[in-house]
Structure 1
Amino acid sequence: MAHHKIGWKTAAALVISNMIGTGVFTSLGYQISDLKNTTSILSLWVIGGFLALIGAFIYSELASKFKQSGGDYIYLSRTYHPVFGYLSSWISLFVGFSAPISLAALAMSKYLNSFGLNLGKEFAIAMILIVAIFQSFSLNLSSKFQNIFTILKVIFILLLIGIGFYYAPTVSPNAVSFDSSFTEELMLPAFATSLVYVTFAYTGWNSASYIIEEINQPKKNLPKALFIGVIFVTVTYVFLNFVFLKHATAASLVGKEDVANISFANILGLQHVKWVSCFIALQLIATISGYLWIGSRLSQATAKENKLWSFMAKENKHKIPVRAIWVHTTISISLIFSGDFEVIFTYTSFVLQILATLAISTAFFIKKDELTIIKSKFFYVLPTIFLAFSLYICYFVLMQKPKESLFGLGIIALGIIIFFFDKHQKPND
């Protein structure tokens, strides 16, 4: 029986919906506390997009070299040592895929509360469960569900940008300020810590590489999906943040999570901004769905090679890793009870940055004659740039947010202990 495979459009839809989630609607409030200049704020988003694009190039090469679903797990296990691959799956299970699902579900209830509803954690849990049920049947149903909600997401975001550009600034003075102070701001530690929120908003640029075995003609379709996804998202992010700044005062945005609401209430009035909230909440369904889809495939790839995880390898007759989907669902739900939004946000971003640094470094092990897109030594400049930025971000987050960073490092340490425990579970090895 031939199993349904997805084309580049569904793969690009996955990339877009995994990237556009809570990050772009929440990070500006944290950035504007320290960075007042519009050039420095927008350059954060440009740098984030540039790094994601470099990452997409590198992952296309890694995916065509290894030809196996599982992304970081495969690249790190095969290049360095199984402990690194194991760690990447451990991090992804708890932080990489489950935390963004919890954050998206929590943000959903927050945005819907502008209707005067008092939705809390119960609603967030119900949403995760509904998406998990849709994911559990067949690839065909999963991709239809994913595509419909991604199209909704894209139309809505383009509408937001259109409305924001069409209307003249509604507050005075607004938060847009293009003076020369941005050169000093680029040197601030806060610029580096703001970059970690931005890289979180771009997490997901690598998502299609995790399911290479489910993609039709992956050599051609994977790079196409990654590049189209990343470029679309970068342009969108820069425009969206400009629109948020244009229609709000700096003071009203500082430290706030619902920046879209604050900004659009000034254009549409409090009565109509509720619909913006409603659509932000709706577009987060595609985010939850995308992370659940990709995360379960990564855990399944690990389950095939590790004893403690092996129960997650089982598939239904449509080749859907149902158990892995429900393990991710359970973890996401339990994370909802584990702390406040910004704390989860910071340690998640930090740990994912470390993971991305490790995964990208495997690119130096691709031989020149294995390259398929940039077939020259110039290719190795890309991971070098990525790693330089990545280490710079990690260093400053560790200095500025030691508590959250140490919590993140604790999750990594626990993963190492479990790996060695797991290895002793294999008498037949």
Structure 2
Amino acid sequence: MAEEAGIQKKAVNQLKWKGKRANGLKDARLGLFSSTALVVASMAGTGVFTTSGFLLAELKSPWLVLLIWLFGGALAICGALCYGALARRIPESGGEYVYLSRTLHPALGNIAGWVSLLVGFSAPLAAAAFGFGEYAHDWFPHWSAQWLGTILLCGFALIHAIDVGEGAWVQNFAVVFKLILIFAFIILAIPRIPYFSTMNEVAPDSTWGDFLVSLMWVSFSYSGWNAAVYVADEVREPAQNLPMAMVIGTTLITVLYILLNMTFVFAAPLAELAGRPDIGRAAAFALGGMAWANCLTILVALALATSISAMMMTGPRVYARMAEDGFLPRLFARHHSAPRWSIGLQCALALVLLWSSSFKSLLTYIGFTLNLSTAATVIGLMRLRWYEGSGFPVVGWPLVPVVFLLGVLAMVVSAIQRQPMVSLYGIATLAFGWLAWRVSRPQTK
């Protein structure tokens, strides 16, 4: 018992030292605004412009669709509060990789790192790049969606590899411009909505299974609420700015999503919108004709571009940290202001997926695997809180972590029941991460 207590005390002291080291980094140049912009850009991607068509087909009620977006936002805010507590305690880059390594076990942290590498960033980057290419194809008819997506991926990889400050400036400008356009669309669209009376059409045959499947799709659209923790080493006063950035960004996106989806689901009769992946363009056409549809296409393209920029900034920080800890070749560690080789690795993996057709079937797989990773991180938070007691403050303890955990686990169970093969792929990814940890463990000090 004495030996175990000594080990735990040593681990806690290491946490404190790590936090002081992170707060003292001299090259941290991202403030609260840049960190919040990173969260907003990471969340406002392709999902919000496509998901509600499938939700209408599944739930058969515009009101239930808005309810699921509200519920998904509340769950994301709970997650942001949990991660904010961890960010105050462990203000280091790396996200789940660092948090799980410190709070539960290095093997779990390594598994989370591989999940980020293979699932968390590469597949969404490829999907967003392909979506951008599809939307921009009308402007560049002689270029395929893959080539247009490739140009975008390589362009942002170059920007973020040159200097984190320059990348942040481009990111901030694009995010502000995107938000102005989205709110302008909402303000102009709401007075034109003709189908508010359908808010009373609640489908009596919707089940909890339908609700949980829909929540899984919505959770993919909300993914990115934890983006700021991946670049914690480059944030000024991370213990203060990281939690605020996640909560502010997630709350803003939740309001934005509900208002934007209100304009989508009530813009036309349900039969004209249900099942359509381009529900945003369809709704805009119903409200204002081709001119509105084209304007929304520009807005979607900008949203996808800023989402790609955000993921290209955050993902490589995880791989750089894994390289610093010996789980990837030292080449991928951060030797300059930006982890350039890790950015190159991220871009290369995304390009491989972009030029294959398999990434289209990864959406549920991504949601399933990432939910397991975030659930494990919150379990690590709870374990650390129980060990340290009130000396480790967690907002809303214990209700907030429990609500988040129950919501995520319900989605995971539903995915296993309804799509067992896709869930098996997610479990196989976790097994691969554990095997990689076993193989690389002797390299660590």
Identify whether the pair has TM-score above 0.5, normalized to the shorter chain.
yes
1:175 positional shift: 8.6
Q: Distance in 2 between matches of 1:252 and 1:315?
A: 53
In the TM superposition, what whole-angstrom CA distance separates every residue of 1:161-186 from its partner, at most 9, and x where no partner exists? 112202142xxxx596333635753x
In the TM superposition, what whole-angstrom CA distance separates every residue of 1:116-135 from its partner, at most 9, and x where no partner exists? 83632111111100111111
| Residues 1:227 and 1:308: Cα distance change in structure 2 (over 3 Å) | closer
Name the counterpart of 1:326.
Answer: 344
1:381 to 399, 418, 424: 399
Name the counterpart of 1:354.
Answer: 372
AA partner of residue 156 (structure 1):
L
Matched, 1:368 2:389: yes
For structure 1, list consecutive stretches of 5 or more residues without a partner in the other structure.
none
Structure 2 matches for 1:24-423, cutoff 5 A? 24-115=48-139, 117=141, 119-169=144-194, 174=195, 177-179=198-200, 181=202, 185=206, 187-316=207-336, 319-339=337-357, 342-364=360-382, 365-366=384-385, 367-372=388-393, 374=395, 378-423=396-441
Any conservation in 2 of the 1:175–1:245 contact (CA below 8 Å)? no
In the TM superposition, what whole-angstrom CA distance separates every residue of 1:70-100 from its partner, at most 9, and x where no partner exists? 1211110112211110111101011101111
| Residues 1:182 and 1:250: Cα distance change in structure 2 (over 3 Å) | closer
| Residues 1:327 and 1:116: Cα distance change in structure 2 (over 3 Å) | closer
Any conservation in 1 of the 2:327–2:437 contact (CA below 8 Å)? no
Q: Distance in 2 between matches of 1:309 and 1:84?
A: 19
| Residues 1:308 and 1:69: Cα distance change in structure 2 (over 3 Å) | closer
For structure 2, list consecutive stretches of 5 or more residues without a partner in the other structure.
1-24
Any conservation in 1 of the 2:63–2:202 contact (CA below 8 Å)? no
| Residues 1:82 and 1:115: Cα distance change in structure 2 (over 3 Å) | same
AA partner of residue 275 (structure 2):
G
Q: Distance in 2 between matches of 1:380 and 1:128?
A: 41
1:382 positional shift: 1.3
Any conservation in 1 of the 2:132–2:145 contact (CA below 8 Å)? no
Q: Aligned with 1:97: secondary structure?
A: helix
Any conservation in 1 of the 2:103–2:381 contact (CA below 8 Å)? no
1:38 positional shift: 2.2
Q: Distance in 2 between matches of 1:338 and 1:303?
A: 28
The 10-residue stretch of structure 1 (115-124 or 268-277) with the greater mean CA deviation from structure 2: 115-124
| Residues 1:110 and 1:332: Cα distance change in structure 2 (over 3 Å) | same
1:248 positional shift: 2.5
1:296 positional shift: 0.8
Percent same amino acid among aligned pairs?
Answer: 28
Q: Distance in 2 between matches of 1:307 and 1:373?
A: 31
1:272 positional shift: 4.3
The 10-residue stretch of structure 1 (143-152 or 66-75) with the greater mean CA deviation from structure 2: 66-75
The 10-residue stretch of structure 1 (307-316 or 58-67) with the greater mean CA deviation from structure 2: 307-316
Q: Distance in 2 between matches of 1:77 and 1:155?
A: 40
Any conservation in 1 of the 2:193–2:263 contact (CA below 8 Å)? no
How many aligned positions are there? Answer: 417
AA partner of residue 31 (structure 1):
L
AA partner of residue 386 (structure 1):
F
| Residues 1:387 and 1:368: Cα distance change in structure 2 (over 3 Å) | same
Any conservation in 1 of the 2:41–2:175 contact (CA below 8 Å)? yes
AA partner of residue 383 (structure 1):
P
Any conservation in 2 of the 1:38–1:176 contact (CA below 8 Å)? no
Any conservation in 2 of the 1:36–1:177 contact (CA below 8 Å)? no
Q: If the length of structure 2 is used for normalisation, what is the TM-score?
A: 0.89
Q: Aligned with 1:379: secondary structure?
A: coil
1:347 positional shift: 0.9
Matched, 1:3 2:21: no
1:249 positional shift: 2.7
1:298 positional shift: 1.3
